[in-house]
Amino acid sequence: MVYYKIIWKHSATKDLRAIDKKFIAKIFEVIESLSRNPFPKKYRKLIGTDSTYRIRMGEYRVIYQLDLKNNLLTIYHVR
């Protein structure tokens, strides 16, 4: 099984500061699961991009990009 290394962009960490604390644990749980399976049931590819996706968690979305060659998962936004 391939695991993807998670890289957090500054924009994503900044987004987390604005999110209600009771949702943070669930967000981290979902992002950790993306490192094992970057294509879960509810993911969507963003139009006009080669490797950028989003996954919804209630009212929040995680925007991430995959580098399949280097096994990297970069988190750009959590909104």
User: Domain containing 62 — which CATH number?
Assistant: 3.30.2310.20
**Which residue has tokens 């995680």?**
62
pLDDT value, residue 62: 98
> Domain range for residue 29?
5-78
Mean per-residue pLDDT over the chain, rounded: 96
φ, ψ dihedrals at 75, nearest 5°: -90, 120
The total number of structural domains in the chain stands at 1
Residue segments in the chain with a per-residue pLDDT below the cut of 50 = none
pLDDT value, residue 46: 97
Helix (H) or strand (E) holding 30: helix 21-36
pLDDT value, residue 63: 98
CA dihedral 73, 37, 49, 47 (to 10 degrees): -140
pLDDT value, residue 1: 79
pLDDT value, residue 78: 98
